[in-house]
Amino acid sequence: MKNKKLRVAILGVTGAVGQEFLSILEERKFPLAELKVLASERSAGKNVKFLGKWMTVQAAAPESFKGIDLVLSSAGATVSRRLVPEAVKAGAVVIDNTSAFRMDASVPLVIPEINASEISKHKGIIANPNCSTIVMAVPLYPLHEAARARRVIVSTYQAASGAGMKAMRELEEQTREVLAGKKPAPKVFRHPIAFNLFSHDSAIREDGFTEEEYKMIQETRKIFRTPELKIVATTIRVPVLRAHSESIVVEFERPLSEEEAKKILQKSPGVEVVDRRKENYFPMPIEASGKDNILVGRIRKDPSSENGLAFFVSGDQLRKGAALNAVQIAEILFS
């Protein structure tokens, strides 16, 4: 970015995504005139490190946003609904990483590789999609552009990090407990996460879908501008520390061969093809962790569908699935 330096506030800085914001702003040399680190009253007074210096976390309040140009928010939907409008009133643009505004028709829901043109339409708020949506959509969209997706079946394998730092610590602690012959007592999750997997820990809707599944369906339709797109999602929490994986099966309007799909994906921004059949070497969350790109592999014809294709992805949901996506939006917005 070559333009003026910006006064930036991170809302929810002590959380997993907030910490990732700090890391990515530093890595990408984001042009900062000022950085304000905000969190709940409970976290106020804690210290976070940025550019080798310790910064004291302040309690977030409506007056926190005076003179701020950009707010990167990951403080949870309830907090966002209360404080984001106050930040907009103060003159800031907010890139919100919660579910609070994603399905608001007046708020752009943006993945830069797909619909960067929506950024300029903002009215003070730009929404970051759900992490599972981003991990699926980045590789799916270029294939959709080429052959038009009609139906998508997705199953997720979601890491503990999707539920925050406490959930990551719980996985580590429970793993030690199980290996020591002890019975783990869940605190963050409803069920034991070590050596186990279970349906995503979001609320179950009346139709039987989790809120996480509903988000993936509705958000993808909005981002792709395809309200008619048929999607069914099954979201599962797995004992992986970081980075989500997804199995995706797509039915297109026209045939799309493995070779054509691979060529498209190899040219697509935000995607790295990892598809070495002879070695049985495909995307893995351990290799996606810390990477900006979504890893894509297991690309193969779906024999049950005339125009079907199946593939597997892994992506770091704290980076591209959250903080990186938001910073990329900011870079476009202010450049």
**Residue spans per domain, the chain:** 6-128+322-334, 133-317
pLDDT at 4: 83
Residue 113: phi and psi, rounded to 5, are -70, -15
Q: What is the mean pLDDT of residues 224-237?
A: 98
pLDDT greater than 50 at residue 1: no
From the list 122, 131, 144, 200, the catalytic residue is 131
- Tokens for 70, please give them: 């950009």
% of the chain at pLDDT higher than 90:
98
pLDDT, tens digit, 9 for 90 and up, residues 301-328: 999 999 999 999 999 999 999 999 999 9
Q: What is the mean pLDDT of residues 172-186?
A: 96
Fold assignment, 6-128+322-334: Rossmann fold (3.40.50)
SS3 307: coil
Q: What is the mean pLDDT of residues 20-36?
A: 97
pLDDT greater than 70 at residue 86: yes
pLDDT greater than 50 at residue 212: yes
pLDDT greater than 50 at residue 168: yes
Q: What is the mean pLDDT of residues 84-93?
A: 97
Query: CA–CA separation, 244 vs 312, rounded Å?
Result: 11
pLDDT, tens digit, 9 for 90 and up, residues 108-120: 999 999 999 999 9
Confidence of residue 17 (pLDDT cuts 50, 70, 90): very high
Confidence of residue 3 (pLDDT cuts 50, 70, 90): low
Place of tokens 């539920």: 163
Our answer to whether residue 191 is catalytic in this structure is no
pLDDT, tens digit, 9 for 90 and up, residues 239-278: 999 999 999 999 999 999 999 999 999 999 999 999 999 9
Our answer to whether residue 131 is catalytic in this structure is yes
From the list 122, 144, 200, 244, the catalytic residue is 244
Query: CA–CA separation, 7 vs 228, rounded Å?
Result: 41
Q: Is 256 exposed, middle or buried (0-12, 13-18, 19+ CB in 10 A)?
A: buried
E strand spans, the chain = 6-11, 32-39, 47-50, 53-56, 58-59, 70-73, 93-96, 125-127, 149-158, 198-199, 230-237, 244-252, 271-273, 294-302, 308-315
Mean of pLDDT over the chain: 96
Confidence of residue 29 (pLDDT cuts 50, 70, 90): very high
Superfamily designation of domain 133-317 = Dihydrodipicolinate Reductase; domain 2 (3.30.360.10)
**Helix (H) / strand (E) containing 137:** helix 131-147
